[in-house]
Structure 1
Amino acid sequence: MEKLKRRIVIIGGGLRGLTAAYEIDKAIRKQNLPFEYVVLEDRSAVGGMIHTIEMDGYAFDVGASAFDSRRADISGFFRELGLESEIQFSKGGKLVLFDGYAVIDDGMPTYHGIPLFPNGIWQANGLTFDAKLRAFMNSLFLSKNLHENPEYSTDNFLEFRLGREVVDYMAEPCYPDNVYGSMELMPVKLFDDNLVTIFGRAHIGKNKKEQLLRFADGSGQEYTFKGGLTTLIKSLAQHSEGHLYVNQKVKSLSSVAEDLLLIELNGRESMRAGSVLVTTNPQESLSFLEGLTSEVAIPKAESTSVGTVFFKINKTAVKNPPEGQGFVIPRKSSYHTTKVVVLNNKWPLLEQAEHYYILVEFGRRLEETLIELADALVMEIIKNEVKEILTLAEEPLQVIFYRWEKAVPHFSLQQRQEMLDDDYPVDREYAKRGVFVGGNGMAGYGMENAIIEGKRLADEAIRYMKEMEKNNSPN
């Protein structure tokens, strides 16, 4: 029984779970701790939304696609894993706006499509004069700090600072739900804290040009690995070799003693543990977490499905190639496509490739109609949109469709206010039982957040297990 109490179970083999496993493994080895750990993944392979395919000698990420150097600095983690030499940075400028009728390629410096400086508003060709005037005046004279109040969403914050048109046509298309969540449901500090630094106060551009230009969209701001993001997953999985178990779906989680948990697997098998880390999406974990305690209610999330379509196209067939990395498309257009990235224009390794390789993203919150259609029909719809946007003279050589069902959980703004509390009852009550709950959307989105959260969950579990070991020691 003592051995079972020293086991840490990690539920979920995505980037969060594998990062947590790596940190726990490192702590056990370095500190010579008497603990063991296992990772349970209900799918046939680890990696979550990271999926790399190989074609024509190249690696392509068709799920999660890149890290952003303007978000949290996690470079030390890659150095520790020995992967620093495998990193490649983006090139080819930035994504430009396709409003459904024409390409709008404004020359001013932007951050996620938003002009970095007040005078850049006047160069935004897609805005009406009234919208430009409102955005300019707000950015200069209004200084209400909405970012300090969690009752206001990022959407509220940006509308107050820059106006509705800027939000709809410039910001929203450049903030995909699967990477940042919904700006309508997230407080700005949780959504993207850089927005506070850049737009949080009046006169932000004055005497700060050089400091702010480091945020500008363009070459070098995104990075991945030469062999795709699977390089990271393989490295983490290798460190946990012998501890990973796939095709293991958790059915229930319960307490069988004060410091012992029972995990029911696949309806037949079971496993006991002293501590459990939950790293799966909230809509997946809700089913087995609800029964653990009746003292608090786990927040229920609504979820969005997203998809990608990968194209291989003859270069001579593209009559309207973008000068930058590709296009983003606003919600108010008639297109289902949200982003078109010409991978040859983005990644140096593909610069001399014989064909164009294009990745299209689609799927937004409250827009589930397309994602629910049959694969062949979705591919045909997206293919026709790409043919129109790029003015293709012939059919693509290859089209591959990928669906990520219920991949992006969304919590209400009120739920977020509760979850941001330092003494959040759910965290407190579950932690008392040795259960530490994370997962996509719980404390943010994106791969950077997944690594940070995986590290935090591992630290909390190790700290808890040490305390339990101390309490159970006969000395």
Structure 2
Amino acid sequence: MTAGARYCVVGGGISGLVAAYRLRVSAGPDASITVLDPADRLGGILRTDRLGGQLIDVGAEAFVARRPEVPALLGELGLSGRQIATTGARPLIYSEGRLHALPADTVNGIPSRSETLAGLVDDATIRWMLDEPRRPLRWRPGADPAVAELVGDRFGEQVVVRSVDPLLAGVYAGSAATIGLRAAAPTVAAALDGGARSLTEAVRTALPPPRPGSVFGALDGCYQVLVDELVRRSGLSWAQVAAAGVQRTPAGWDVVDDEGTRWPADAVVLAVPAPRLPALIADIAPRSAALARDIPVASAAVVALALPGGTPLPEQSGVLVAGRSPALHTKAVTLSSRKWGRRGNVELLRLSYGRFGDDVARATGDEDLLAWAGEDLATLFGITVDPVDALVVRWIDAMPQYGPGHADRVAELRAGLPAGLAVAGAYLDGIGVPACVAAATRAAAAVVAR
């Protein structure tokens, strides 16, 4: 692509902003980069608010620090010094009316040792797990069953509901029944492909070697620090409009907004959620549009609270809820002040509501969600206290479900796009921020090199 090229990026979330930054680095200062997004701010699911006088991320709030993408990006942007680690506090699991320690040595909740689940599952399940290496394993290399199908068969239903589901609900707002093994535990799938004779052996093979340092990272100043620097470094122009379609022209492409205005470009990156993609590309890439339409999504609501300093909360990073407990509404609680360290004179925490298949995030009013949060804190921790400050944020259709065969569908979706058009987003190669950075980098490289 020559100097002075014109690029449009549809979507101003983390994927769109990283794509814009990568385009600037590759195409140089003379390129024109326009980001189209109708929201009142850029950043998408990276959203930083002030609560009780303190900054808090109310969308994505952490990244896997052991993946290279985010630390490398922070280094490029001169932000490495802003990366922070967790305090080392670990989460609990709430199951059958009790709080349990999160089992150690698991891969997304899939255990490598039965003894780590003692007290969380019954004795019959422990015996079934102990016997698992002796039972014949039928595995077809390349298979991608739902996590629940494999783990339920090999380790039992209680392991699925009480160990695996809580983690997958926290990441995807889904469950082991809606997520494929290759998305949830790719290293386990690889070990099975490589000839592991049992699921126990596969999980033990897949466990990462012990490493010093925190598994998760965040930013001092929250994700707004990253958003602001990406906007500054990319030199983008923000058009606060919604894209309605993409059309091929003799000179390249036009992005047409919802008012009929055309935004000409030599190449386009579509960094929108899966449900928004089909309307943009239905005429130019109908098969890719159909594949995007078939990716299920879930919605979630976050209730962020600032409680008075000194409120008696456990010295844990949070609570993951097993199944749909009749005693609770929330599916996960993050004790932010315990996880990242206390700041100021308040205790910050987040409660998450909504799972795949329900309408909680859309249909439940703010007052009801706040009331649920109070009830859930009383049930979990035995506390009844009025918050100093509170905030409700909804993430509608923001959580793609990585079902069995997802990677093959994504490969076909990408292959069906014409040259000069690329996609980025959380529905492609992983829902976390590192995977979004990687997908956006790939998309920018593809359109620059066309």
TM-score bracket, shorter-length normalisation: 0.7 to 0.9
Partner residue of 1:284 out of 264, 276, 284: 276
- State the alpha-carbon separation in 2 of the partners of residues 394 and 12 from structure 1: 40
Q: Is the 8 A contact 1:147 1:189 kept in 2?
A: no
Calculate the TM-score normalised by the size of structure 2: 0.88
Aligned partner letter, 1:430: L
Partner residue of 1:191 out of 184, 195, 210: 184
Q: Is the 8 A contact 1:22 1:240 kept in 2?
A: yes
What is the aligned partner in structure 1 of residue 307 from structure 2?
Answer: 313
Q: 1:364 to 1:461 in 2, by over 3 A?
A: same
Q: 1:435 to 1:213 in 2, by over 3 A?
A: closer
Does structure 1 residue 59 correspond to structure 2 residue 55?
A: yes
Mapping of 1:56-135 within 5 angstroms? 58-71=54-67, 73-99=69-95, 101-105=97-101, 108-115=104-111, 117-121=112-116, 123-135=117-129
Calculate the TM-score normalised by the size of structure 1: 0.84
- State the alpha-carbon separation in 1 of the partners of residues 261 and 5 from structure 2: 19
What is the aligned partner in structure 2 of residue 158 from structure 1?
Answer: 151
What is the aligned partner in structure 2 of residue 369 from structure 1?
Answer: 360
What is the aligned partner in structure 1 of residue 224 from structure 2?
Answer: 230
- State the alpha-carbon separation in 2 of the partners of residues 313 and 370 from structure 1: 23
Q: 1:238 to 1:102 in 2, by over 3 A?
A: same
Mapping of 1:5-404 within 5 angstroms? 6-29=5-28, 35-55=31-51, 58-71=54-67, 73-99=69-95, 101-105=97-101, 108-115=104-111, 117-121=112-116, 123-139=117-133, 143-145=137-139, 148-150=142-144, 152-176=145-169, 178-179=171-172, 183-196=176-189, 201-202=196-197, 212=207, 214=209, 220-241=214-235, 243-257=236-250, 260-294=252-286, 297-299=289-291, 300=293, 301-318=295-312, 321-334=313-326, 335-348=328-341, 350=342, 353-369=344-360, 371-404=362-395
What is the CA RMSD across the aligned residues, in angstroms? 3.2
Q: 1:314 to 1:195 in 2, by over 3 A?
A: farther
Percent of aligned positions with the same letter in both sequences? Answer: 17
CA deviations 1:156-184 (Å, max 9, x no partner) are 23334432211111111012365586543
Q: 1:219 to 1:144 in 2, by over 3 A?
A: farther
- State the alpha-carbon separation in 1 of the partners of residues 80 and 385 from structure 2: 40
Any gaps of 5 or more consecutive residues in structure 2?
none
- State the alpha-carbon separation in 2 of the partners of residues 378 and 180 from structure 1: 17
- State the alpha-carbon separation in 2 of the partners of residues 184 and 178 from structure 1: 14
What is the aligned partner in structure 1 of residue 445 from structure 2?
Answer: 459
Q: 1:56 to 1:293 in 2, by over 3 A?
A: closer
CA deviations 1:53-97 (Å, max 9, x no partner) are 224553211111100235555422221111111011012431111
Q: CA deviation at 1:342?
A: 1.3
- State the alpha-carbon separation in 1 of the partners of residues 57 and 286 from structure 2: 41
Q: Is the 8 A contact 2:105 2:207 kept in 1?
A: no
- State the alpha-carbon separation in 1 of the partners of residues 248 and 220 from structure 2: 45
- State the alpha-carbon separation in 2 of the partners of residues 296 and 83 from structure 1: 37
- State the alpha-carbon separation in 1 of the partners of residues 61 and 351 from structure 2: 11
CA deviations 1:230-273 (Å, max 9, x no partner) are 111111111123x231421101211233x521211132321111
Aligned partner letter, 1:90: T
Q: 1:136 to 1:210 in 2, by over 3 A?
A: closer
Q: CA deviation at 1:49?
A: 0.5
Q: CA deviation at 1:354?
A: 2.6
Q: CA deviation at 1:44?
A: 1.9
Q: 1:255 to 1:76 in 2, by over 3 A?
A: same
- State the alpha-carbon separation in 2 of the partners of residues 91 and 139 from structure 1: 36
